[in-house]
Amino acid sequence: MNLMTVDGYHAKIDYDGETDQFRGEVLGLSGGADFYGSSPEELRREFKKSLEIFLDVCKEKGIEPRRIYSGKFNLRIPPELHKKLPMTAEAQAKSLNSLVQEALQTSVSA
């Protein structure tokens, strides 16, 4: 995944063949903000403009700009994997939560 970061906000960057430009979509917001550019410099400028507009609107409306996460989510996995995970955690003297958290952290850090 191609990411661009501005002021602590991250955007996923893709190529849009219809417009022959790069499209950025800011991630983790409570609403949507996207932007386009033909070069990395233009893309970064447009990212800053789009983010500024989004943050201004949030401020005007009293909305938290970043999506809020509880730290909890449901996960659907195959029963056979579910059966193996607690045994693996126990064998490593860890909780199931710790085992899964470590695996997820490793995945997003890669």
Q: Tens digit of pLDDT for each residue in 27-43?
A: 999 999 999 999 999 99
CA–CA distance, 30 with 51 (Å, rounded to integer)? 12
Q: What is the pLDDT of residues 44-86, one digit of tens each?
A: 999 999 999 999 999 999 999 999 999 999 999 999 999 999 9
CA–CA distance, 42 with 51 (Å, rounded to integer)? 14
Q: Is the pLDDT of residue 13 over 90?
A: yes
Segments of the chain assigned E as strands: 2-6, 9-16, 21-26, 34-37
CB 33 within 8 A of CB 26: yes
Domain ranges of the chain: 2-61, 79-109
Does the reported pTM lie above 0.85? no
- Cα of first residue to Cα of last residue in the chain, in angstroms, is 11
Mean pLDDT of 84-109: 94
Residue 1: per-residue pLDDT:
72
Confidence grade of residue 110 (pLDDT, cut at 50, 70, 90): confident
